[in-house]
Each structure stands twice: as structure tokens, then as C-alpha cells.
A = this chain, B = another copy of it.
């Protein structure tokens, strides 16, 4: 038996250990970062909101004009069989479409490439360690970089263009901060590496509507807040307004709702998770268990 407990990959119809999964160095997925991807969480043996993640992935393929051999049904089956084979009960599951290699000698035409699909899964990834998320995390606002604008690379098509995030992460880590968030060129709050950002004002929550991924967990937060009767605003969030927030939190498929207690040198909600973030964080773990939102993994 092959050990897949550290993760598995689905490549060309074969399920292999994650350590063996690779992509050619000349694939445009590498040389042009010409990839669309998505990540769906598996929690307690079930995919969460799988069809929503598939919706977004299929929309990304269309936006990128990629044509892969697998249709939505085949993708769903590949993901299920791969996670089932891995045995992982809590997993981070990536579905990836890459532009591929160009088989036409000398061609620089993206339309000539052999687009392809692969997938992989590893044990569940927390973008902030759970023990830190529980007590509230710190966030550094990147000073040397601004978020790649949406008229350069569309952030709603989930992509691997992370150069701006990586620069921000170095800034943050050098200063002892857990993670980073980026501003746009107009000084509005956008997003960070793997998460959306929310500000709480009384019984309203605000998150950016432009220059960011429209995260599925972001949507879950909006749904949960609505269920609690809170006001919801998706619009530009200027930094000056952000500083006035009662509370701040992050949303990510890698950890749900993550309270923020410190941004740069400012403390929020007296340095402890605020009540809204705490309630929404608890809601998220409860929603993860809702049958209507779950698709059980067909373990053998």
C-alpha cells in the first residue's frame, strides 16, 4: 500500500503520493504562472460547499479560456476519489488547471497550448495557527507593495500571482507579525495571502468588493452575518475608515473566521477577539457540520 497520509495527487487519472506530483518546468503554468485553481476544504470527512467551489473553478476556466479534458462531473469524481484514497478526514484540496506546454514549435500563441487538469490534497491548512487564531492574530499592512490591480490580473480568477503577497509577508515576518494585508493604489484595504478582510462597525460588517477574491468563506461570513441580522456592506474600504473599526477579522477556507487583535502598532477590541468575530468564528465551525452544505467523501 502506498502511503498517502501526507497527501495525494490526481494526475492524468492516476492517484499518487503528493511528494511525487510535479509539473514540467516548461509548462506555461510555471513559466507564465498561467494557472487557474481553487481550493475546497474537507472537514470531518466531508467537502464543504463543494458546488460553490466548483462553480468558481469552472468560471475561472472560462475566464482564462482554458479547455481541459475533464468536465465538472469528472472533476468532482477525481477530487472525491483522491481524498477518499488519501484517507484524510480534514484536508486542503486543490483543483488546478494549467495552460500546459505549447506543442507547436516556435509558437507563442496561448491558444496552441495543451491545457490540463490536476488536483492534490494535503492535511488541512490553517493560514494562521489555530492557537493564534483563537486568541487573535497580528496583521502588518505592507508598506513597499500595493495589491496587483484588478485591471492587470483579475483577482476573482483565483491565481498564483503572489509576488505582492510574498513581499508583504517578508515585511510582516521581519517585524514579528503573523501575516500581511495589502492596500490598493487608492489606499483602500484589499486582501492578504489566502484571506479576505472584514471590519466591524457596531452591527454592520464591511468588506471590499473590488480588487479581491470573492472568497467562498467571505460569502459564508456574509451569509452568517445576515442570519444574525447584521448589516452587510461590500464596497471600497478606505484605510482611514478601517482604523475606526470596532473589530477586525479575516476569512479563509483555511481556518474560517480569524479574529485580528493588532494591525501595525494599533490594537483592536482591547487586544482580544471581539464579540462579533467570536460569534462568527463559532458559527463557521457549526456551519461546517451542516448536512445541507456538506458532501461526504466516499472513503473505502
Which residues of A are interface residues toward B (Cβ below 8 A)? 7, 9, 18-19, 21-26, 29-35, 65, 96, 99, 106, 108-111, 118, 120, 122, 125-129, 144-149, 151-154, 159-166, 169-170, 173, 179, 185, 193-194
Contact = CB atoms under 8 A, between A and B. Distances in A.
Contacts of A99: 166
A25 B146 contact: no
A100 to B, nearest CB: 13
B173 A33 contact: no
Given A125-B106, A166-B34, A25 B147 contact: no
Contacts of A34: 162-163, 166
Given A23-B25, A30-B23, A173-B110, A163 B166 contact: no
B126 A106 contact: yes
Given A22-B24, A26-B120, A96-B25, A110 B161 contact: no
Contacts of A109: 169, 173
Given A23-B25, A30-B23, A161 B166 contact: no
A128 B99 CA distance: 20
A19 B109 CA distance: 20
